[in-house]
Amino acid sequence: MTRLTVFAALLLSLTIGAAPVSAEDTSSAAKPPSSQTSAADKKAVAKSCTDQANAKSLHGKARKKFRSECKKKGGKVE
């Protein structure tokens, strides 16, 4: 093989290999900041809602409904 052929093959393989890098998924950047809550924030809200449900001595369906509404409101139901 000549140097030109090797160079062309190298250039082609680099171009093909770099194509997926340039086509990154930008869907996470397009989301509004409110939908990008961290896992720690979600856990803190869930913990707060659980503590509130415990304080009210809720059980069963009433507890499930309360926690669901509480989490939707960000842990501030009381």
3-state secondary structure 35-62: HCCCHHHHHHHHHHHHHHHHHCCCCHHH
Asked whether residue 57 is domain-assigned, the answer is yes
Asked whether residue 21 is domain-assigned, the answer is no
**How is residue 20 written in tokens?**
């997926």
Domain count, the chain: 1
Asked whether residue 4 is domain-assigned, the answer is no
Asked whether residue 8 is domain-assigned, the answer is no
Residue 25 pLDDT exceeds 70: no
**pLDDT confidence of residue 50:** 93
Where b means 16+ CB within 10 Å and e means fewer, 6-36 reads: eeeeeeeeeeeeeeeeeeeeeeeeeeeeeee
pTM of the prediction?
0.51
Interval 34-69: pLDDT, tens:
555 688 889 999 999 999 999 999 999 999 999 999
Residue 28 pLDDT exceeds 80: no
Asked whether residue 1 is domain-assigned, the answer is no
Asked whether residue 55 is domain-assigned, the answer is yes
Asked whether residue 65 is domain-assigned, the answer is yes
**pLDDT confidence of residue 70:** 92
**pLDDT confidence of residue 18:** 64
Asked whether residue 14 is domain-assigned, the answer is no
The residue range of the domain holding 73 is: 38-78
